[in-house]
Amino acid sequence: MKTQVSVLIRFSYVARNGFRAAMGGVEASRALLYDPPRLARRFALFEALALPALLQQTDPDFTTIFLIGRDFPPEARERLARLTAPLADPRILALPPLPMFQATKQAFQRTRHPERTHLATTRLDDDDALALDVIARLKAMLGPLAAISGDDPVAIAFNNGFFLELGAQENNISQVIERTPASQATTLLVPNEQSETIFSRNHRHLGQFFNLYTDAVTPAFIRSIHRDNDSEPFGSGQVISHDDTTLRALLKGRFAQTLEDLRAIRP
Instruction: Spell out the residues 6+ positions from residue 191 whose beta carbon is closer than 8 angstroms to its own.
Output: 117, 118, 119, 151
pLDDT given for residue 232 in this prediction? 67
Give me the amino acid identity at 174.
S
Q: What is the pLDDT along the chain (267 residues), one digit of tens a residue?
A: 999 999 999 999 999 886 666 567 889 889 999 999 999 999 999 999 999 999 999 999 999 999 999 999 999 999 999 999 999 999 999 999 999 999 999 999 999 999 999 999 999 999 999 999 999 999 999 999 999 999 999 999 999 999 999 998 899 999 999 999 999 999 999 999 899 999 999 999 999 999 999 999 999 999 999 887 776 666 678 999 999 999 999 999 999 999 999 999 987
Q: How far apart are CA 174 and CA 227, in angstroms?
A: 18
Instruction: Spell out the residues 6+ positions from residue 187 whose beta carbon is closer than 8 angstroms to its own.
Output: 5, 120, 121, 122, 123, 138, 155, 156, 157, 198
Q: How far apart are CA 247 and CA 249, in angstroms?
A: 5
Q: What is the pTM of this model?
A: 0.94
- Classify 173 as helix, strand or coil: strand
Q: How far apart are CA 11 and CA 67, in angstroms?
A: 6
Give me the amino acid identity at 58.
T
Per-residue buried b or exposed e for 33-72, using 16+ beta carbons within 10 Å of the residue's own CB: bbeeeebebbbebbebbbbbbbbebebeebbbbbbbbeeb
Beta strands in 196-249 (DSSP E): 211-215, 221-225, 238-240
Give yes or no for a contact between 134 and 194, defined as CB atoms under 8 angstroms apart.
no
Q: Which domains does the chain have, with CATH numbers?
A: 3-264 (3.90.550)
Give me the amino acid identity at 157.
A
